[in-house]
Amino acid sequence: MTPAASPIQPRSLPKTWHALQPLWEGDESIVQQGLPHEQLAPSWQMLLLGDGSHTRNLQLLTGEPIAVDVIDMSVIGTELDGAPDLVHAVPNPWMRRQVWLRNASGQRLTYAASWWEASHLDEYLQNKSLPIWTSLARSRTELFRDIQGVHYGHSQALAAAFGQPGPFWGRHYLFWHNGQPITLIYEVFSPYLEKYLGPMAIG
Protein backbone atom coordinates (compact mmCIF):
# COMPACT_ATOMS: atom_id res chain seq x y z
CA MET A 1 0.00 0.00 0.00
CA THR A 2 1.11 3.56 -0.54
CA PRO A 3 2.33 5.25 2.65
CA ALA A 4 0.68 8.60 3.28
CA ALA A 5 2.92 10.03 5.93
CA SER A 6 6.45 9.88 7.24
CA PRO A 7 6.99 8.04 10.53
CA ILE A 8 6.13 10.19 13.53
CA GLN A 9 8.52 10.45 16.43
CA PRO A 10 7.05 9.20 19.73
CA ARG A 11 5.85 11.82 22.20
CA SER A 12 5.83 11.38 25.93
CA LEU A 13 2.57 13.27 26.54
CA PRO A 14 -0.45 11.17 25.55
CA LYS A 15 -3.21 12.59 23.38
CA THR A 16 -6.85 11.67 23.66
CA TRP A 17 -7.93 8.70 21.59
CA HIS A 18 -11.43 8.31 20.19
CA ALA A 19 -13.37 5.67 22.10
CA LEU A 20 -17.05 5.36 21.28
CA GLN A 21 -19.65 6.39 23.82
CA PRO A 22 -21.48 3.06 23.71
CA LEU A 23 -25.15 2.55 23.02
CA TRP A 24 -24.54 -1.20 22.88
CA GLU A 25 -21.58 -3.53 23.33
CA GLY A 26 -21.03 -7.24 22.79
CA ASP A 27 -18.39 -9.62 24.09
CA GLU A 28 -16.56 -12.56 22.53
CA SER A 29 -19.68 -14.75 22.64
CA ILE A 30 -21.48 -12.22 20.42
CA VAL A 31 -18.51 -12.19 18.08
CA GLN A 32 -18.71 -15.99 17.75
CA GLN A 33 -22.45 -16.28 17.18
CA GLY A 34 -22.95 -13.12 15.12
CA LEU A 35 -25.68 -10.52 15.35
CA PRO A 36 -29.31 -10.49 14.17
CA HIS A 37 -29.46 -9.11 10.64
CA GLU A 38 -31.89 -6.41 11.71
CA GLN A 39 -29.13 -5.17 14.02
CA LEU A 40 -26.20 -5.50 11.59
CA ALA A 41 -26.41 -6.65 7.98
CA PRO A 42 -24.43 -9.76 6.90
CA SER A 43 -22.07 -7.75 4.68
CA TRP A 44 -21.16 -5.51 7.62
CA GLN A 45 -20.74 -8.51 9.91
CA MET A 46 -18.23 -10.01 7.48
CA LEU A 47 -16.14 -6.83 7.79
CA LEU A 48 -16.65 -6.23 11.51
CA LEU A 49 -16.43 -9.81 12.80
CA GLY A 50 -14.13 -11.34 10.18
CA ASP A 51 -10.57 -12.21 11.14
CA GLY A 52 -8.91 -11.41 7.81
CA SER A 53 -6.81 -8.40 6.84
CA HIS A 54 -8.92 -5.27 7.28
CA THR A 55 -6.66 -3.23 4.99
CA ARG A 56 -6.94 -5.87 2.27
CA ASN A 57 -10.74 -5.98 2.68
CA LEU A 58 -10.94 -2.21 2.28
CA GLN A 59 -8.82 -2.34 -0.86
CA LEU A 60 -11.06 -5.02 -2.38
CA LEU A 61 -14.21 -3.10 -1.45
CA THR A 62 -13.13 0.28 -2.78
CA GLY A 63 -10.92 -0.83 -5.67
CA GLU A 64 -8.33 1.70 -4.49
CA PRO A 65 -5.03 1.51 -2.62
CA ILE A 66 -5.50 2.05 1.11
CA ALA A 67 -3.16 4.52 2.77
CA VAL A 68 -2.51 5.27 6.43
CA ASP A 69 -2.24 8.65 8.12
CA VAL A 70 -0.41 8.30 11.43
CA ILE A 71 -1.81 10.94 13.80
CA ASP A 72 -0.29 9.91 17.13
CA MET A 73 2.58 7.90 18.58
CA SER A 74 2.53 8.41 22.35
CA VAL A 75 4.45 6.78 25.16
CA ILE A 76 1.80 5.65 27.66
CA GLY A 77 4.02 3.70 30.03
CA THR A 78 1.83 1.82 32.48
CA GLU A 79 -1.14 4.22 32.29
CA LEU A 80 -4.35 2.40 31.42
CA ASP A 81 -5.24 5.23 29.00
CA GLY A 82 -8.94 4.33 28.97
CA ALA A 83 -8.09 1.33 26.77
CA PRO A 84 -10.19 -1.84 26.89
CA ASP A 85 -9.26 -4.05 29.85
CA LEU A 86 -7.67 -6.47 27.41
CA VAL A 87 -4.68 -4.12 27.22
CA HIS A 88 -3.37 -6.00 30.26
CA ALA A 89 -2.65 -8.94 27.97
CA VAL A 90 0.02 -6.86 26.20
CA PRO A 91 3.25 -6.45 28.20
CA ASN A 92 3.97 -2.88 29.30
CA PRO A 93 5.29 -0.21 29.17
CA TRP A 94 2.96 0.65 26.29
CA MET A 95 3.10 2.91 23.29
CA ARG A 96 -0.16 4.01 21.67
CA ARG A 97 -0.49 4.50 17.91
CA GLN A 98 -3.47 6.21 16.24
CA VAL A 99 -4.18 6.20 12.51
CA TRP A 100 -6.75 6.87 9.83
CA LEU A 101 -7.11 4.33 7.01
CA ARG A 102 -8.28 6.10 3.86
CA ASN A 103 -8.70 5.48 0.16
CA ALA A 104 -6.66 7.16 -2.56
CA SER A 105 -9.23 9.93 -2.92
CA GLY A 106 -8.78 10.90 0.73
CA GLN A 107 -11.99 9.49 2.23
CA ARG A 108 -11.39 8.24 5.77
CA LEU A 109 -12.74 4.72 6.13
CA THR A 110 -11.49 3.52 9.52
CA TYR A 111 -10.04 4.97 12.70
CA ALA A 112 -7.72 2.76 14.74
CA ALA A 113 -5.93 3.07 18.06
CA SER A 114 -3.45 0.37 19.08
CA TRP A 115 -1.34 -0.34 22.14
CA TRP A 116 2.06 -2.03 21.81
CA GLU A 117 4.84 -3.08 24.12
CA ALA A 118 7.07 -0.06 23.58
CA SER A 119 10.33 -2.00 23.50
CA HIS A 120 9.10 -4.30 20.68
CA LEU A 121 7.20 -1.83 18.48
CA ASP A 122 10.12 -1.32 16.09
CA GLU A 123 10.43 -5.08 15.70
CA TYR A 124 6.92 -5.37 14.26
CA LEU A 125 6.44 -1.96 12.62
CA GLN A 126 9.70 -1.14 10.91
CA ASN A 127 7.86 1.38 8.73
CA LYS A 128 5.31 3.01 11.00
CA SER A 129 3.59 4.82 8.13
CA LEU A 130 2.35 1.54 6.65
CA PRO A 131 -0.88 -0.20 7.68
CA ILE A 132 -0.15 -2.76 10.40
CA TRP A 133 -1.09 -5.78 8.29
CA THR A 134 1.03 -4.56 5.36
CA SER A 135 4.04 -4.04 7.60
CA LEU A 136 3.70 -7.44 9.26
CA ALA A 137 3.03 -9.22 5.95
CA ARG A 138 6.24 -7.83 4.50
CA SER A 139 8.20 -9.48 7.30
CA ARG A 140 6.17 -12.72 6.85
CA THR A 141 4.93 -12.48 10.43
CA GLU A 142 2.27 -15.09 11.11
CA LEU A 143 -0.66 -13.59 13.04
CA PHE A 144 -3.96 -14.52 14.59
CA ARG A 145 -6.61 -11.79 14.93
CA ASP A 146 -8.57 -12.53 18.12
CA ILE A 147 -11.69 -10.35 18.12
CA GLN A 148 -12.91 -9.89 21.68
CA GLY A 149 -15.60 -7.23 21.55
CA VAL A 150 -17.86 -5.10 19.36
CA HIS A 151 -19.12 -1.60 20.02
CA TYR A 152 -21.92 0.60 18.71
CA GLY A 153 -22.01 4.23 19.77
CA HIS A 154 -21.30 7.89 19.21
CA SER A 155 -18.20 10.05 18.96
CA GLN A 156 -18.33 13.73 18.07
CA ALA A 157 -14.66 13.67 17.09
CA LEU A 158 -15.15 10.75 14.71
CA ALA A 159 -18.33 12.24 13.25
CA ALA A 160 -16.37 15.37 12.37
CA ALA A 161 -13.38 13.39 11.03
CA PHE A 162 -15.45 10.98 8.94
CA GLY A 163 -17.85 13.69 7.75
CA GLN A 164 -20.60 11.21 8.62
CA PRO A 165 -23.05 11.23 11.52
CA GLY A 166 -22.98 8.37 13.99
CA PRO A 167 -23.66 6.08 15.60
CA PHE A 168 -20.68 3.99 14.51
CA TRP A 169 -19.68 0.35 14.69
CA GLY A 170 -16.32 -0.63 16.16
CA ARG A 171 -14.42 -3.59 17.56
CA HIS A 172 -11.35 -4.44 19.59
CA TYR A 173 -9.04 -7.40 19.22
CA LEU A 174 -5.62 -8.83 19.98
CA PHE A 175 -3.00 -9.77 17.43
CA TRP A 176 -1.16 -12.94 18.48
CA HIS A 177 2.25 -14.04 17.23
CA ASN A 178 4.10 -17.17 18.40
CA GLY A 179 1.52 -17.69 21.13
CA GLN A 180 1.97 -14.18 22.55
CA PRO A 181 -0.28 -11.12 22.23
CA ILE A 182 1.69 -8.34 20.51
CA THR A 183 -0.89 -5.54 20.31
CA LEU A 184 -4.43 -4.53 21.24
CA ILE A 185 -6.31 -2.71 18.47
CA TYR A 186 -9.54 -0.67 18.70
CA GLU A 187 -11.13 0.14 15.32
CA VAL A 188 -14.15 2.22 14.31
CA PHE A 189 -15.66 2.05 10.81
CA SER A 190 -17.06 4.97 8.85
CA PRO A 191 -20.69 4.77 7.65
CA TYR A 192 -19.27 5.84 4.27
CA LEU A 193 -18.63 2.13 3.76
CA GLU A 194 -22.38 1.74 3.13
CA LYS A 195 -21.48 2.83 -0.41
CA TYR A 196 -19.84 -0.58 -0.85
CA LEU A 197 -21.51 -2.77 1.78
CA GLY A 198 -25.07 -1.49 1.62
CA PRO A 199 -27.16 -0.43 4.64
CA MET A 200 -25.81 -1.33 8.06
CA ALA A 201 -29.01 -3.07 9.11
CA ILE A 202 -31.78 -4.99 7.37
CA GLY A 203 -35.12 -3.75 8.60
**Residues β-bridged to residue 117:** 94
Residues 6+ apart with CB under 8 A from 16: none
Mean pLDDT of 50-77: 89
Residue 136 has pLDDT above 70, yes or no: no
- Per-residue pLDDT tens over the stretch 92-108: 999 999 999 999 889 99
What predicted TM-score, i.e. pTM, was given to this entire model? 0.85
Mean pLDDT of 99-123: 88
Per-residue pLDDT band at 146 (split at 50, 70, 90):
confident
3-class secondary structure for 11-80? Answer: ECCCCCCCCCEEEEEECHHHHHHCCCCCCCCHHHHHHHHCCCCHHHHHHHHHCCCEEEEEEEEEEEECCC
The residues spanned by each domain of the chain are 21-197
Q: Is 9 helix (H, G, I), strand (E, B) or coil?
A: coil
Nearest to residue 83, comparing CAs of 95, 71, 73? 95
CATH of 21-197, one of 2.40.40.20, 3.40.1410.10, 3.40.50.2020, 3.40.640.10: 3.40.1410.10
- Per-residue pLDDT tens over the stretch 162-200: 999 999 999 999 988 778 888 899 999 999 999 999 999
pLDDT: which is higher, 14 or 99: 99
